[in-house]
């Protein structure tokens, strides 16, 4: 009996080359027949601590396995070693003795991996073959007991034009493992040069602390099943704005890029640009209770953190308006106290006149420089002008001062179409605070990000390189301590000069850096998905606000190509989507889009708007999650994407969406047969598809290949192997 007992944890990192460091325990052969199959080992926790000092990296991994079986377990701990890494410590203690390991070179390691794949029928392991491997015999793992393993290694990060790349393999979903109870990655970066951009293209990281030359990066998750490797970039530069470029290009297809811009972390007082900011706060009756208390606390934080050269005002509105002052006033100590007293004294009562409140705020500004409105409401327009289109036109007409409008919708009784358009049309952003979320924390965190404007009215270009489909469509202002992430496509390869221009104190300035747009770059394979998520988010918003058939066709095409599900394309996760024609796809889209687009307010509308907003500003590859017509969260595990080829799952078989319906395979190969390993070795590019599972139908080099556990060729002659993909 073959036991499929594999445990992956991930302890690695790589730089310029793709190399893996992924630890797991493989069972040693047992006498047969076995009384009953052993259960999988589980991982209680997986913690990774990384320190980077001027590119010298030390990685320490702590991992605890649990044996759920009622008998002793024996196995080998296998650890693929990153290129150039040196193991400095390894600890498994047994009876007071530290176990010793051995390093296996690539050829020997390849055979071990293939033997494991055959034994455990786990194609995901094919991705790890071909590297040097560290192996340690682990015995015993007592029944119902834990076994802790620690490993430490060092290596040097490669500096590529000021940019460092760090990769940590977490992609274990294809191995079919149980979720890891606790995952923690902590990275401490120290540099002699100022640190600018810090960016992960794969995971939502946090920055618990940050200074000019040091930073701490963290990723934490519970009950976590990783589906992609963890990748982190950071750059160093003495320039006022750090500029970096990430690219991906395959074959003859146009390339993808991400441009990163980060101003220096701390700017001098004399460099802080004064801003004019008006807080427009809904104080209608529906805001009474805890909502108005939290809103006033958030507003208090904003006022207390105004810069001394700022000018501000407050409008508290319901069916009538109270204002702090007739015009914005300077943020002097006396005027700040005046504002804080005003906040204490207004109460929640009356209806909601959105139109009049925003018009009055816009009419208070003089000049077009650094004008901001923070607008918070929890309701629909019930007083004064209530027509959505009319309100939008009135705001547009009144905003001749180039004011940015940042909108906060509180609760579910808001018109999301109105609020989204109000923000989008005025170079701002819309956010939504759901009933159980804290208004004070949300507002204060947001205000901290826009407290110090650095560069306004941004424009981005690349000399000599043709770029297109740039997102975001309208570039936001750049604030001190923030980061701008621009995604797009490029046509021709070569060198160009990236340029970001903007205004500082009404003067236009330029930041430039030479960059190479390569003809081939396959390493950063998450970049196309980030670009696709942003474009789908932008198109979906357009369709949601104004139905357009051409945009619908493009949403379907992109969703299908990149395997990204939305409320409107969730049909792609069904088995009958495989091979569906254009007309059938449009019909399925329309049947789902109609009920979704009709909802302007309510829980579903808010969740949908938040999802679209997240896609439009995506910085990491998106998970397949959407909200159905009832507002319930739906996580999709029947649709996935490998190298821009999407697959839908039917039963235990993955079928490529690129294959026409009822099209027969050109060749069928039995999974884990000699032929299976022959094609994996002859065509390494196919391994990423094989890792999906044991029953797959793919399109590879123009031919349809089926891998099956039940049928197919078991061996291939040398001639057959070479002519399959002539």
DSSP 3-state of 633 = strand
Which residue in this structure is represented by tokens 């990774």? 48
DSSP 3-state of 616 = helix
Which residue in this structure is represented by tokens 């819309």? 430
Which residue in this structure is represented by tokens 């992960």? 200
- At residue 176, the pLDDT reads 46
Type and span of the H or E element at 477: none
Cα–Cα distance measured from residue 171 to residue 22, given in angstroms and rounded to the nearest whole number: 10
Q: What is the CATH number of domain 274-450?
A: 3.40.50.410
Cα–Cα distance measured from residue 96 to residue 185, given in angstroms and rounded to the nearest whole number: 29
Cα–Cα distance measured from residue 37 to residue 54, given in angstroms and rounded to the nearest whole number: 49
Cα–Cα distance measured from residue 535 to residue 699, given in angstroms and rounded to the nearest whole number: 25
Strand 214-224 versus strand 206-210 pairing type = antiparallel
Cis status, amide bond into 394, omega within 30 of 0: no
107: phi then psi, degrees, rounded to nearest 5: -65, -45
- On whether the CB atoms of residues 229 and 171 are closer than 8 A, the answer is yes
- At residue 177, the pLDDT reads 59
C-alpha pair distances (Å), 111 with each of 117, 296, 676 = 10, 66, 14
Token pair belonging to 172: 């274990």
DSSP 3-state of 154 = strand
CATH class of the structural domain 24-235: mainly beta
Closest to 205 measured CA to CA, from 174, 234, 239: 234
Cα–Cα distance measured from residue 514 to residue 495, given in angstroms and rounded to the nearest whole number: 7
Q: What Rg value do the Cα atoms of the chain yield, rounded?
A: 28
Q: Tens digit of pLDDT for each residue in 357-390?
A: 999 999 999 887 789 999 999 989 999 999 999 9
- On whether the CB atoms of residues 503 and 509 are closer than 8 A, the answer is yes
pTM: 0.87
Give per-residue burial for 422-431: e unless 16+ CB within 10 Å, then b. Answer: bbbebbbbbb
Mutual orientation of helices 416-424 and 388-398 as an angle, nearest 10°?
20
Q: Name the stretches of the chain with pLDDT < 50.
A: 1-22, 172-174, 176
692: phi then psi, degrees, rounded to nearest 5: -65, -40
Q: Hey, do 241-269+453-517 and 274-450 end up sharing a CATH topology, with the first three levels equal?
A: no
- On whether the CB atoms of residues 65 and 42 are closer than 8 A, the answer is yes
Q: For the chain, how many helices (H) and strands (E)?
A: 14, 39
Residues 6+ apart with CB under 8 A from 269: none
Domain assignments of the chain as residue spans, ordered by start: 24-235, 241-269+453-517, 274-450, 527-641, 664-723
DSSP 3-state of 435 = coil
Domain at 241-269+453-517, CATH from 2.80.10.50, 3.30.420.40, 2.60.40.1230, 3.30.1330.10? 2.60.40.1230
- At residue 15, the pLDDT reads 23
Type and span of the H or E element at 555: helix 549-562
Cα–Cα distance measured from residue 205 to residue 184, given in angstroms and rounded to the nearest whole number: 11
- At residue 111, the pLDDT reads 76
């Amino acid at each position: 009996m073959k036991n499929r007992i594999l445990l992956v944890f991930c302890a690695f990192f790589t730089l310029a080359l793709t190399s893996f460091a992924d630890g797991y325990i493989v069972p040693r052969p047992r006498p047969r027949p076995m009384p009953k199959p052993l259960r999988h080992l589980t991982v209680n926790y997986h913690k990774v601590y990384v320190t980077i000092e001027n590119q010298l990296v030390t990685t320490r991994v702590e991992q605890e396995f649990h044996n759920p079986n009622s008998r002793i377990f024996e196995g080998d701990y296998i650890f693929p070693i990153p290129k150039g890494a040196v193991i400095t410590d390894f600890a498994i203690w047994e009876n007071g003795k530290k176990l010793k390991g051995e390093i296996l070179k690539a050829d020997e390691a390849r055979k071990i991996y293939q033997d494991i794949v055959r034994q455990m029928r786990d194609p995901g392991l094919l991705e790890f073959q071909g590297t040097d491997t560290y192996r340690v015999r682990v015995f015993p793992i007592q029944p119902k007991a834990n076994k802790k393993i620690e490993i430490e290694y060092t290596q040097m990060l490669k500096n590529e034009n000021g940019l460092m790349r760090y990769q940590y393999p977490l992609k274990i979903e294809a191995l079919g493992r149980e979720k890891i109870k606790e995952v923690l990655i902590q990275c401490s970066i120290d540099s002699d040069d100022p640190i600018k951009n810090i960016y992960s293209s794969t995971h939502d990281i946090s920055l618990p602390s940050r200074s000019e030359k040091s930073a701490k990066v963290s990723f934490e998750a519970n009950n976590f099943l990783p589906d992609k490797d963890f990748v982190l970039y950071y750059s160093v530069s003495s320039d006022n704005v750090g500029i970096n470029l990430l690219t991906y290009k395959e074959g003859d297809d146009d390339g993808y890029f991400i441009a990163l811009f980060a101003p220096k972390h701390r700017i001098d007082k004399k460099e802080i640009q004064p801003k004019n900011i008006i807080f427009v706060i809904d104080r209608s009756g529906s805001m009474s209770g805890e909502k108005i208390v939290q809103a006033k606390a958030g507003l208090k934080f904003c006022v207390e953190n105004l810069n001394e050269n700022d000018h501000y005002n407050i409008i508290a509105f319901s069916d009538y308006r109270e204002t702090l002052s007739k015009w914005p006033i300077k943020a002097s100590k006396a005027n700040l106290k005046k504002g804080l007293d005003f906040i204490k004294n207004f109460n929640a009562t009356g209806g909601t006149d959105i139109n009049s409140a925003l018009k009055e705020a816009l009419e208070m500004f003089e000049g077009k420089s650094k004008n901001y409105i923070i607008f918070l409401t929890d309701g629909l327009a019930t007083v004064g002008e209530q027509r959505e289109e009319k309100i939008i036109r009135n705001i547009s007409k009144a905003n001749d001062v180039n004011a940015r409008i940042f909108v906060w919708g509180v609760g579910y009784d808001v018109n999301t179409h109105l609020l989204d358009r109000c923000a989008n049309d005025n170079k701002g952003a819309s956010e939504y605070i759901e009933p159980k979320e804290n208004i004070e924390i949300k507002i204060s965190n947001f205000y901290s990000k826009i407290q110090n404007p650095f560069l306004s009215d941004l424009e981005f270009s690349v000399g000599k390189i043709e770029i297109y489909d740039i997102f975001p469509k309208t570039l936001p202002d750049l604030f001190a301590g923030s980061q701008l992430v621009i995604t797009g496509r490029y046509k021709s390869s070569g060198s160009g000069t990236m340029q970001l221009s903007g205004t500082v104190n009404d003067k236009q300035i330029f930041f430039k850096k030479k960059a190479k747009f390569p003809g081939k770059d396959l390493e950063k394979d998450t970049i196309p998905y980030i670009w696709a998520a942003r474009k789908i988010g932008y198109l979906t918003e357009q369709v949601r606000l104004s139905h357009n058939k051409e945009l619908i066709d493009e949403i379907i095409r992109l969703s299908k190509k990149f395997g990204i599900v939305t409320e409107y394309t969730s049909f792609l996760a069904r088995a009958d989507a495989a091979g569906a024609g254009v007309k059938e796809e449009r019909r399925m889209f329309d049947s789902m889009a109609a009920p979704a687009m009709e909802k302007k307010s309510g829980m579903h509308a808010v969740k949908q708007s938040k999802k679209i907003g997240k896609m439009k500003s995506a910085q990491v590859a998106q998970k397949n999650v959407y909200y159905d017509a009832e507002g319930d969260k739906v996580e999709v595990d029947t649709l996935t994407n490998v190298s821009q080829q999407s697959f839908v799952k039917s039963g235990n078989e993955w079928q490529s969406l690129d294959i026409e319906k009822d099209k027969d395979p050109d060749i069928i190969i039995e999974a884990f047969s000699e032929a299976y390993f022959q094609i994996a070795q002859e065509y390494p590019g196919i391994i990423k598809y094989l890792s999906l599972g044991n029953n797959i139908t793919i399109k590879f080099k123009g031919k349809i290949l089926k891998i099956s556990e039940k049928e197919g060729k078991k061996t291939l002659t040398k001639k057959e192997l070479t002519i399959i993909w002539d």
